[in-house]
């Protein structure tokens, strides 16, 4: 979806790498235009991301538009010191209050056809995710009674029949007002098990609980009356500008509105409350999102309009009516060159895949992948072919540092990373493959990686909902942002490496071989500590050498469950 040329896009030269950092080769040549008028703020950890989301939602004056794989209205965005909480920080309270204040709230969520909303593999459990589904069902019923609060469910819109999912995760706030508008392109789902901190401890009382949303008894009694009043008010308001209205018409309408609002606001102002439940079995989880301002917001809004209208909704304003130059005009001075990229099979879009391929094949120093999965065999073949074409393999070593999860012993899941790693090894491209566990030896747990991050050469990075698998890069709807900004890319790499390996290893840019050597030395120390039952010396990473093959499919379905025989949910 191009708006035509973007004359404000600059081509800055970075002497540290000896070339233009905003070469078109970094970005996809299809889809949304690259823009130099978008400010991006990476958000590492659920605590950071959801604090920013809560602030943006509370500040909304016109509209809130959300599209997610999973949403739990009981999600507590800002946490107390332990498992205590202020209910005004719940997603349900914020959205409900905003709708009551005449902010138009639209939420669209994937409607899984055979199970509950939520992923039991992402640091939560069936208990927590079943509660998510229950909470969403209750809130959807409440939303039907509240003007300005509209919740829709969507099918997958995936190219994979039966097992595909709608996997995008993003928010657009106040699209009507370019100076205050903001958006989020996220890895996180709006669900309790995605909240976490950068310290990733084995136990965290602020994380290990969830909220059950319950309807209040008085509201249930008055549902029919609220429905009747809402219908009557809508019918009357449609006629308010008609000539020759009966005497007292507007006053009667106002009284009906007051009665309906009083019913909705009964029992302390909200027709629902919460019960908290402890759940200490939650694994630590690492995820990354972004908040953006400026020109790129319009492209995120286009993605929202597309999925909303596909499900029978209408948007106001429409994407076509947006004053797009105004968003560029109000871009903060610290904007970066960036591109919103989507996977959307119904429109033939696989532009996140092009971001990955272009960025990785342009690498001269290093490639860092922090991703839930590492299993795209076709993309691996294309990367290897591009490296051979450049002659890179025979000239120098470009280390790949990959941090992902273990799926050893999981039917239809294990073996895919093994196949990818063997392809790289055969091509003599070094891949340093790691997974993460909690640093402390006491109550040690696996850390679940849900992030979808690629960083190349301290120049380019991409963050969003897309995994390194065929499903995300070709088949399921996804949304990412790709960014060319040496300062931000460097800072993001340092922040993540401090979490993962306990050291930014800055020599990776001056001497990639020495940087990779340092990474391996830190890993070896951690491996020794792990085997000795000690706290890890360097962050949370340990060496991971997957060997499993069970469940490998012989075709491209190796990147996810078989479309015909597996019911395993991969998110």
> Which of 61-65, 91-95, 251-255, 309-313 has the least mean pLDDT?
251-255
Q: Quick check: 554 pLDDT over 90?
A: no
Q: Are residues 452 and 541 in the same domain?
A: yes
Q: Residue 282's pLDDT band (boundaries 50, 70, 90)?
A: confident
The answer to whether residues 347 and 248 belong to one domain is: no
Same-domain status, 392 and 408: yes
Q: What is the mean pLDDT of residues 492-501?
A: 98
Query: Considering the domain boundaries, does residue 118 fall inside one?
Result: yes
Residue 300 resides in a domain: no
Helix (H) or strand (E) holding 298: helix 297-310
Dist. CA 464–CA 186, nearest whole Å: 5
Say if residue 139 is in the same domain as residue 248: no
pLDDT value at position 266?
53
Instruction: Determine the pLDDT at residue 486.
Output: 95
How far apart CA 255 and CA 546 sit, in angstroms, is: 68
- CATH number (domain holding residue 122): 3.30.870
* CA 416/CA 420 separation, integer angstroms: 6
* The pTM of the whole model exceeds 0.75: yes
Q: Are residues 250 and 351 in the same domain?
A: no
What pLDDT does residue 15 have? 39
Residues 141 and 246 in one domain: no
pLDDT per residue as tens digits for the range 429-487:
999 999 999 999 999 999 999 999 999 999 999 999 999 999 999 999 999 999 999 99
**CA-to-CA distance for 161 and 207, rounded, in angstroms?**
35
Residues 99 and 213: beta-carbon distance below 8 Å: no
Q: 405 near 447, Cβ under 8 Å?
A: no
In this prediction, residue 565 carries a pLDDT of 27
How high is the pLDDT of residue 55? Answer: 98
State the Cα torsion 558-451-422-497 to the nearest 10°.
180
Query: What's the pLDDT at 187?
Result: 98
- Residue-wise pLDDT for 13-59, tens only, equals 343 433 344 454 899 989 999 999 999 999 999 999 999 999 999 99
Q: What is the mean pLDDT of residues 398-414?
A: 89
Report the DSSP pairing between strands 285-286 and 448-449. Answer: parallel
Confidence of residue 276 (pLDDT cuts 50, 70, 90): confident
Dump pLDDT digits (tens) for 557-571: 333 333 232 222 222
Write the DSSP string, 308-348: HHHTT---SS-TTTS-HHHHHHT--TT-EEEEEEEEEGGGT
Q: Using an 8 Å Cβ cutoff, are 339 and 355 in contact? A: yes
Q: Supply the pLDDT for residue 265.
A: 60
Better-predicted residue by pLDDT, 547 or 161: 547
Note whether 460 and 534 are same-domain residues: yes
User: What pLDDT sits at residue 449?
Assistant: 97
SS3 category, 426:
helix
Q: Is residue 191 part of a domain?
A: yes
Among left, alpha and beta (phi > 0; psi -120 to 50; other), residue 31 is: left
Cα dist from 94 to 48, 103, 242, whole Å: 18, 11, 36
Domain count, the chain: 3
Cα separation of 319 and 304, whole Å? 9
User: Could you tell me if 160 and 242 lie in one domain?
Assistant: no
Tell me what pLDDT residue 343 has.
97
Identify whether 9 is part of a domain: no
Local structure of residue 271 (DSSP, 8 states): S
Instruction: Determine if residue 135 is left, alpha or beta; phi over 0 gives left, psi from -120 to 50 gives alpha, anything else beta.
Output: alpha
Residue whose C-alpha is closest to residue 50's, from 68, 29, 23, 25: 68
Q: Give residue-wise pLDDT tens across range 331-349.
A: 888 999 999 999 999 999 9
Burial label, 326 (beta-carbon count in 10 A; 0-12, 13-18, 19+): middle
Domain presence at residue 537: yes
Residues 215 and 230 in one domain: no
420 and 503: one domain? yes
Alpha carbon distance 187, 185 (integer Å): 7
Final residue of a structural domain among 205, 235, 264? 264
CATH code at position 545: 3.30.870.10
**Do 459 and 530 lie in a common domain?**
yes
Closest CA to 38 of 330, 342, 354, 356: 330
163/515: higher pLDDT: 515
Say yes or no: 242 and 276 in one domain.
Answer: no
Averaged pLDDT for residues 359-380: 96
pLDDT tens for each residue of 91-130: 999 999 999 999 999 999 998 765 444 333 344 556 777 7
pLDDT value of residue 272: 84
Show Cβ contacts of residue 302 under 8 Å, excluding neighbours closer than 6 positions.
1, 32, 319
Q: Which domain holds residue 257?
A: 223-264
For residue 228, pLDDT beyond 50: yes
Q: Do residues 496 and 344 make contact, with C-beta atoms less than 8 angstroms apart?
A: no
Assigned domain for 14 exists:
no
Q: 327 lies in a domain?
A: no
Rg (CA), the chain: 25
Average pLDDT over residues 395-421: 89
φ, ψ for residue 22 (rounded to 5)? -115, 30
Q: What is the pLDDT of residue 63?
A: 98
CA 464 from centre of chain? 5
Asked if residue 3 is part of any domain, the answer here is no
């Amino acid at each position: 979806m191009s708006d035509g040329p973007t004359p404000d896009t600059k081509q800055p030269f970075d002497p540290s790498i000896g070339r233009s950092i905003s070469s078109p080769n970094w970005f996809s040549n299809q889809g949304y235009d690259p823009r130099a008028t978008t400010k991006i703020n990476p958000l590492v950890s659920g605590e950071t991301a959801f604090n920013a989301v809560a602030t943006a939602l509370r500040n909304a004056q016109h509209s809130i538009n959300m599209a997610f794989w999973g949403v739990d209205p009981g999600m507590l965005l800002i946490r107390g010191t332990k498992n205590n909480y202020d209910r005004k920080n719940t997603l349900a309270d914020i959205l409900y209050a905003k709708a009551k204040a005449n902010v138009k709230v639209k939420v669209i969520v994937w409607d899984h056809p055979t199970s509950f909303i939520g992923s039991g593999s992402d640091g939560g459990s069936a208990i927590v995710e079943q509660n998510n589904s229950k909470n969403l069902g209750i809130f959807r019923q409440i939303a039907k009674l509240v003007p300005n609060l509209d919740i829709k469910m969507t099918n997958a819109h995936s190219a994979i029949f039966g097992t595909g999912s709608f996997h995008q995760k993003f928010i657009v706030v106040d699209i009507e007002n370019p100076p205050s508008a903001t958006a989020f392109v996220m890895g996180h789902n709006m669900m309790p098990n995605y909240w976490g901190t950068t310290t990733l401890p084995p136990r965290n009382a602020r994380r290990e609980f969830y909220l059950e949303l319950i309807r209040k008894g008085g509201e249930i009694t008055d549902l029919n009356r609220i429905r009747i009043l809402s219908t009557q008010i809508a019918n009357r308001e449609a006629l308010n500008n008609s000539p020759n209205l009966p005497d007292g018409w507007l006053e009667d309408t106002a009284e009906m509105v007051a009665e309906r609002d009083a019913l909705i606001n009964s029992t302390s102002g909200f027709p629902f409350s919460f019960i908290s439940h402890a759940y200490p079995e939650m694994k630590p989880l690492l995820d990354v999102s972004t908040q953006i301002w400026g020109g790129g917001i319009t492209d995120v809004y286009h993605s929202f309009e597309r999925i909303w209208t596909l499900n029978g909704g209408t948007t106001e304003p429409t994407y076509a009516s947006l004053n797009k130059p105004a968003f560029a005009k109000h871009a903060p001075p610290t904007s970066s060159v960036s591109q919103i990229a989507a996977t959307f099979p119904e429109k033939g879009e696989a532009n996140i895949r092009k971001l990955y391929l272009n960025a990785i094949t342009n690498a001269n120093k290093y490639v860092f992948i922090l991703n839930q999965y590492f299993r795209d065999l076709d993309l691996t073949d294309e990367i290897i072919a591009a490296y051979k074409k450049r002659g890179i393999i025979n000239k120098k070593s470009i280390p790949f540092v990959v941090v992902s999860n273990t799926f050893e012993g999981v039917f239809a899941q294990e073996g895919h990373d093994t196949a990818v790693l063997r392809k790289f090894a055969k091509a003599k491209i070094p891949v340093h493959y790691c997974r993460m566990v909690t640093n402390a030896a006491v109550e040690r747990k696996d850390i679940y990686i849900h992030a979808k991050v690629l960083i190349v050469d301290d120049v380019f990075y991409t963050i969003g909902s897309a995994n390194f698998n065929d499903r995300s890069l070709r088949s399921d709807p996804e949304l990412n942002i790709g960014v060319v900004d040496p300062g931000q890319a460097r800072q993001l790499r340092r922040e993540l490496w401090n979490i993962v390996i306990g050291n930014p290893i800055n020599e990776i840019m001056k001497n990639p071989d020495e940087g990779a050597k340092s990474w391996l030395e830190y890993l070896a120390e951690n491996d020794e500590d792990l085997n000795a039952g000690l706290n890890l010396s360097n962050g949370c990473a340990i060496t991971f050498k997957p060997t499993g093959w069970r469940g490998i499919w012989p075709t491209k379905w190796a990147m996810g469950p078989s479309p015909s025989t597996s019911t395993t949910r991969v998110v």
